[in-house]
Amino acid sequence: MANFHRVVAIDGPAASGKSSVARLLARRLGYSYVNSGAIYRAITWHILQRGIDAGDTERIAQTVEAARISCRFRNSESHILVDDFDPVEHLRDDRVNENVSRVSSIPRVRKTVVREMREYARHRDLIVEGRDIGSVVFPETPYKFYVDASPEVRLRRRAAEGQRDKIAMRDRADFLRPISPLIIAKDAQVIDTSHLTIEGVVKEIITRLKEMGLPI
């Protein structure tokens, strides 16, 4: 990819295991790990913190465009700061879970976030996980994976994390939104993680990356 380092894209629905897989894969390959959902979550937290209604599209877009969004890599893992504050402890708050799909469906918000992520890839090799990484953010990368698991398994995983995330509701919103919906990029490799451990999925991805000629 012109001007970009290597990018491995990992997309999939909520609780498909993509964060754990991406984090471990990044460690194994010595790449940095970017959780794009965390960027949308940080922005959603920022909006709610300012008392802005999640339905006020224009005000949200203006606020996000005016905000200073930056990224620090700690232990090769991205931490997103909004106006110099790292909201990491709030990213899984119920109110963030409930509003993030709506905020992330706003085209101007997406444009800002996509630009950010593409900038990170100018400086380092990345594993990036999300919903539209292979289809929209880095369509040029040949290394695209779509990880999935049955709805029952995904619900169990969230419950095991002690979370009351309404993943069915978010899935619907993420699949059906008109801009950058969750789709399987046509050149992505699909992996069903329902009956695999994190380690098992990472092994499978590394095998396929080697077959594709990625020097590992």
Q: Which of 7, 25, 42, 100 binds ligand DC (CB under 6 A)?
A: 100
Q: Which of 132, 143, 144, 188 binds ligand DC (CB under 6 A)?
A: 132
Beta carbon of residue 210, minimum distance to ligand DC (angstroms, whole number): 26
| Residue 48 binding ligand DC, by CB under 6 A | no
| Residue 138 binding ligand DC, by CB under 6 A | no
Beta carbon of residue 176, minimum distance to ligand DC (angstroms, whole number): 12
Would you say 109 and 59 are in contact if contact means Cβ atoms under 8 Å apart?
A: no
Beta carbon of residue 209, minimum distance to ligand DC (angstroms, whole number): 21
DSSP-assigned states of every residue in 20-81: HHHHHHHHHHT-EEEEHHHHHHHHHHHHHHTT--TT-HHHHHHHHHHS-EEEEEETTEEEEE
The 3 state secondary structure assigned to 145-159 is EEEECCHHHHHHHHH
| Residue 104 binding ligand DC, by CB under 6 A | yes
DSSP H/E element including 7 = strand 7-11
Q: Which residues bind ligand DC (CB under 6 A)?
A: 14, 36-37, 40-41, 100-101, 104, 130-133, 170, 174
